[in-house]
Chain A
Amino acid sequence: MWLQFKRTFKSAVNNVKHNIWLALSVTSVIAIALFIINIQLANIVANDLLLADLENRVNVSVYFKEDVSKDKVQEAEKVIKEFPEVERVTLISREETLEKFNKTHSKNKTLQEVVDVLGENPFGDILNIKAHNTDDYAKITEKIKSANFNNSIDNVNYEEHQDVIQGLGREIKNSQKFTIVLGIILSGIAILVTFNTITITIYTYRRAIEIMKLVGASNLYVTMPFVWEGFLYGSIGAIIAIITSYFYLHFLANGGSSDTLLFLSSSKFIQQFLGEYFTKHLFLAIGFQLLLGTFLGVLSSLIAIRRYLKK
């Protein structure tokens, strides 16, 4: 068995050397196929990161009237914290708000004068609420409005942002669906092209296959060199694909044009993808790539050779 492995591998290397241009074209096709799959996968992950980021930015702010006492605000904070939908509540005191306001508008004399004329802190305390799930904000707002501390509240600002946030979320989710469909279609085309290229390659060997069988070679012996060839094309293609994908993503992450068909997500999230996923799981990425490449090469070879083995 080991002898067969060795001999068929040698035979495959010999075939590759003898048909170097054919070998190069099959390897490039596999590399391009994997590259397309990589970019689509990266895009899907980057879009997910974008969604997560957006969701993280959403919150509800409850503005209390300026004459409400600290105790009442803290009581309200306790009640809100008990809501199952709430992840965390942050209290921003009216003093902090004033300080922040003064800092932000230190150069705006008119605004400073208005505050001075008022003679007292015009702001109330604020509770910033973060939900577990973006969809829960409406529910939380409802609960706050029906709570017993409702008359201490000046304003709940979620309604103002609601449309923008939900609209943006919808947009991204739609774009994500489009990306996945596009990814599947492009990957499908890439796989078909690879399969076809290998089928054509094996077609050029059909006479050799017939001769091998006449000389007394078993089906396994005839098949093995093609499986090895598929393995070689697939693994070399995979290495090329992972290097080119990395550099392409790196280029996009550093502000290269992100409006290409292959990449819809913004450079910030590609950067995040490269940093958090790609680099951290480099061996996994390479392993996945090699597995996919050799699977593509070997399976295509096996399917393509079947029809010539029937005799």
Chain B
Amino acid sequence: MIIYNKVSKIYKNDTKPVLQNVNLEIKEGEFVTFVGYSGAGKSTLLKMIYAEEMPTSGEVYFHKKKINDLKKRYLPKHRQQIGTVFQDYKLLTQKNVWQNVAFAMEVAGKTQAEIEEDVPQIIDIVGLKSKIDKYPEELSGGEQQRVALARALVNRPKVLVADEPTGNLDPISTWEIMQLLLKINEFGTTIMLATHDKGVVDRISKRVISMDKGKVIRDDLKGKYCI
């Protein structure tokens, strides 16, 4: 489903590569965890899926489509197929829970009827039914991340990219988010998770890709946190 072929990346005004000749294949329905020190290249690798970064050399494929060649006008459509969750939640502060989730459907051109059917359902799944009218600033970190997760899932994406989604959360909220990610994966969504949390990685026992200095150093199908 996702293929990285000899991918290298050097940022502008930088001499050291953040990614060096990375070769990876991720199959549909997989739950893949990326671990490594800060600066190992995990985030850059994930950003290439939703075309926020492009490789300096090599190719990235999503459903056999080469992302490198993606024209700017197709970028919104491409991103609508991918759910993204970040450490800092990236919620729209001007919009309440309902509006934040609905926004993802609005930009995808869904009708009002579809929105009114799907949004409450997904908010219910992430357990925020009682906070539907609240604004991000009125929510805890864990709750905000659940809103972000609901927004990422509402368009039923094929893949969910989660970059340190539990980085700012307490252990209980962390585990709640992980439970949700596992559940989503069970329904067939491919999950790509970058994390520093050893406890999380060890407990879920899924495929672990360890990275260091821009290279993949380990790739275990049922791995533990090991760098």
Contacts and interface: CB of A to CB of B under 8 A. Distances in A.
B103 A215 contact: yes
A216 interface: yes
Given A14-B95, A311-B52, A217 B90 contact: no
A215 B109 contact: no
B77 interface: yes
B93 interface: yes
B80 interface: yes
- Which A-B residue pairs are the 3 nearest by beta carbons? A216-B79, A216-B80, A217-B107
B68 to A, nearest CB: 16
A214 B103 contact: no
Contacts of B52: 214, 311
Contacts of B106: 7
24 contacts: A3-B109, A4-B109, A7-B106, A14-B99, A211-B92, A212-B92, A213-B76, A214-B50, A214-B52, A215-B80, A215-B103, A215-B107, A215-B151, A216-B78, A216-B79, A216-B80, A216-B104, A216-B108, A216-B155, A217-B76, A217-B107, A218-B73, A218-B107, A221-B107
Interface residues of A, number: 19
A218 B76 contact: yes
Interface of B: 50, 52, 73, 76-80, 84, 90-95, 99, 103-104, 106-109, 111, 151, 155
Contact of B104 (A3, A215, A218): A215
B84 A214 contact: yes
Contacts of A7: 106
Interface in A1-23: 3-4, 7, 14-15, 18-19
A4 B77 CA distance: 15
Contacts of B93: 208
B94 A15 contact: yes
Interface string A280-311: 00000000000000000000000000000001
Interface string A220-261: 010000000000000000000000000000000000000000
Contacts of A4: 109
Contacts of A214: 50, 52, 79, 84, 90
Contact of B91 (A15, A18, A211, A221): A211
A29 to B, nearest CB: 21
Given A217-B76, A311-B52, A212 B91 contact: no
A101 B129 CA distance: 98
A311 B91 CA distance: 19
Interface in A81-140: none
Interface in A266-285: none
A282 B111 CA distance: 43
Given A14-B95, A15-B94, A212 B107 contact: yes
Given A7-B106, A311-B52, A211 B94 contact: no
A128 B79 CA distance: 84
A216 B94 contact: no
A8 to B, nearest CB: 9
Contacts of B84: 214-215
* Residue among B52, B73, B76, B90 facing the most chain A CB atoms (10 A cut-off): B76
Contacts of B76: 213, 216-218, 221
Contacts of A221: 76, 107
Nearest to A18: B94
A139 to B, nearest CB: 69
Contacts of B78: 216
